[in-house]
Amino acid sequence: MSIKDASSTIRDLTKVLADIENLDRSGCLDQWRDVFDRPPPKHLSPQFMKRVLIWELQNRELGGLSVKTERQLQQIALGKTPPPSLKPGSHLVREWNGRTYQVEVVDRGFVMDGKTWRSLSAIAKHITGAHWSGPRFFGVR
């Protein structure tokens, strides 16, 4: 039974997984071509091909990655770091010149020492007296 022909029952899925585990190199190459409609990249070990084939089967049968995760992985693959997501209620802590500063993330900015700020960069400038990237100063990036 091939990955393309597997039904969604657990018994069939377990059987196909076991079949993949028992493939030799030639069988891995045949399954790869069948599943991906192209030959595998050169120099892949049979063990690695088996892992990829099993992962692909699980994605097809049990559901793959979320759209959000796919987008994030694509950004990482392109060398772009996804922007950090600071959620309201999060706390950022930074020590500077012997004093510890604590910032709370709120819906419309950031709160430090009872004052609301529009950006982390403004807080970093207030603390240091110099222009800083706020996310970098607080270790968010």
DSSP for 21-87, please give it.
Answer: HT--HHHHHHHHHHHHSSPPPTT--HHHHHHHHHHHHHHHHH----HHHHHHHHHHHTTPPPPP-PP
Range in 63-72, 101-110, 125-134 the model is least confident about: 63-72
Highest mean pLDDT among 29-33, 82-86, 135-139: 29-33
> Rounded mean pLDDT of the chain?
87
Residue 1 belongs to some domain of the structure? no
Q: 46 pLDDT exceeds 90?
A: yes
| Residues 54, 15 within the same domain | yes
Nearest-angstrom CA–CA distance, 29 and 101: 57
Give the residue with greater pLDDT, 120 vs 6.
120
Predicted local confidence at residue 39, as pLDDT:
93
Residue 84 belongs to some domain of the structure? no
| Residues 14, 53 within the same domain | yes
Give the residue with greater pLDDT, 37 vs 8.
37
Helix axes 46-62, 10-21, angle to 10 degrees: 170
Residue 16 belongs to some domain of the structure? yes
Count of the separate structural domains present in the chain: 2
19-41 residue pLDDT tens: 999 999 999 999 999 999 999 99
* Domain carrying residue 104: 91-137
Nearest-angstrom CA–CA distance, 45 and 36: 17
